[in-house]
Amino acid sequence: MPRMPIPFGDDVSACPIGNDRLAVLKTDMLVAETDVPPGMTLWQAARKAVVMNISDFAAKGVKPCAILVSLGLTKRIVEKDVAELARGLNAGAREYGAFVIGGDTGEASDLIISVSLFGTARRSDVMLRSGAKPGDLLAVTGLFGKTPAGLSILLCNAEASEKTRKVLVESVLLPHARMKEGLTLGRTKAVTAAIDSSDGLAWSLHEIASASNVGFLVDRLPMADEAKKFAKNNNIDPAELVLYGGEEYEIVLTVKPPLWNATEKAVANEGGRLTRIGRATTEKSVLLETKSMKRIIEPRGYEHFRM
């Protein structure tokens, strides 16, 4: 399309619909074999298929309005299962104020849940990946490490106390998108770049870095307490969990330094929390440098598991 309002390769796509407004679109497919771990119900799988798409809208500051679903069903799926899938899809949609307005079902050799999202937005409210400038502050909307730990528990029976286990596993089975935060951030005009972290924090940093032509110096690892405990008990490098986990639906963003306080406050007013973890640099590398460690953050992403 000539002069696309959102560049190819960003989290969402868009079409101008007049009056400086955009139709914003996104499609992504959940495939049971690689996206549905053992222990996840059909209801949860369907809800997750919606939430993972909504997370991309959240990271762009766009509210989803309508959802279409295309289901590929195996022969093992019976009517009761389809009803459960429909309830999960609807639950995911309604949590974020959207509606499932259509879809199709067909036959497939593995369960496929293909979700398409539609919403409209003011062009100026949409946060792209490409606007970060050296000196901008780097922030995240939440802490990392729980989901990869939860996946290790579900896939490999990794050890955790009952209480920690619950939190970690729930982060896998019931993910949440940062919609309130994303909509608030879009309105601040303080955000220069944003992306969702579903492919892992490290991957997200490299994506912004390459789209914006900057580097990053990360001076703080945004690690969840439960992930810290899990890493210690299982003798895992905690940085590995935080940086290369994935399937975590936070927003990774850069903020104009003079507007940091106002931005942090705006997000807090909506019940969210912004954590500053570093800054954008002229130097193109993506580095981690805290009191205790110094290392290169590699452009490695989350690899889907395969059972």
DSSP state of 2: T
The verdict on 103 binding its own copies (CB under 8 A) reads yes
CB atoms within 10 A of CB 84: 18
Among 78, 83, 101, 296, binds its own copies (CB under 8 A): 101
Q: What span, in angstroms and rounded, lies between the C-alpha atoms of 54 and 45?
A: 14
Kindly tell me which of 198 and 281 has the beta carbon lying closer to its own copies: 198
Task: Choose one: 10-18, 155-163, 167-175, 237-245; the region binding its own copies (CB under 8 A).
Answer: 10-18
The verdict on 108 binding its own copies (CB under 8 A) reads yes
Task: Choose one: 14-22, 133-141, 200-208, 250-258; the region binding its own copies (CB under 8 A).
Answer: 14-22
Residues 63-92: x/- map of binding to its own copies (CB under 8 A)? --xx-xxx-x--------------------
DSSP state of 125: G
In whole angstroms, the minimum distance from the beta carbon of 50 to its own copies comes to 13
Helix, strand or coil for residue 214? Answer: coil
Beta strands in the chain (DSSP E): 13-16, 21-31, 66-73, 99-107, 112-122, 137-140, 191-196, 215-218, 251-255, 275-281, 286-289, 294-296
How many residues sit in the footprint of its own copies (CB under 8 A)? 42
Kindly tell me which of 17 and 293 has the beta carbon lying closer to its own copies: 17
Name 102's bridge partners: 68
The verdict on 25 binding its own copies (CB under 8 A) reads yes
The verdict on 307 binding its own copies (CB under 8 A) reads no
In whole angstroms, the minimum distance from the beta carbon of 258 to its own copies comes to 33
Among 118, 216, 244, 302, binds its own copies (CB under 8 A): 118
The verdict on 102 binding its own copies (CB under 8 A) reads yes
Match 């989350």 to its residue by tokens. Answer: 302
Task: Choose one: 95-103, 138-146, 204-212, 239-247; the region binding its own copies (CB under 8 A).
Answer: 95-103
In whole angstroms, the minimum distance from the beta carbon of 109 to its own copies comes to 5
Using alpha carbons, select from 48, 29, 53, 8 the residue that is nearest to residue 173. Answer: 48
Q: What span, in angstroms and rounded, lies between the C-alpha atoms of 230 and 270?
A: 30
| Residue burial 6-37, b: 16+ Cβ < 10 Å; e: rest | beeebbbbbeeeeeebbbbbbebebbbeebbb
Task: Choose one: 60-68, 163-171, 236-244, 259-267; the region binding its own copies (CB under 8 A).
Answer: 60-68
Using alpha carbons, select from 226, 227, 209, 210 the residue that is nearest to residue 218. Answer: 209
The verdict on 130 binding its own copies (CB under 8 A) reads no
Alpha helices in 75-194 (DSSP H): 79-95, 146-156, 162-173, 179-188
In whole angstroms, the minimum distance from the beta carbon of 306 to its own copies comes to 8
Question: The tokens of 118 are what?
Answer: 């539609």
Using alpha carbons, select from 195, 25, 23 the residue that is nearest to residue 121. Answer: 23
Kindly tell me which of 13 and 184 has the beta carbon lying closer to its own copies: 13
Residue ranges in contact with its own copies by CB under 8 A: 1, 4, 8, 12-15, 17, 21, 23, 25-29, 31, 33-35, 65-66, 68-70, 72, 99, 101-104, 106-110, 112, 114, 116, 118, 120, 304, 306
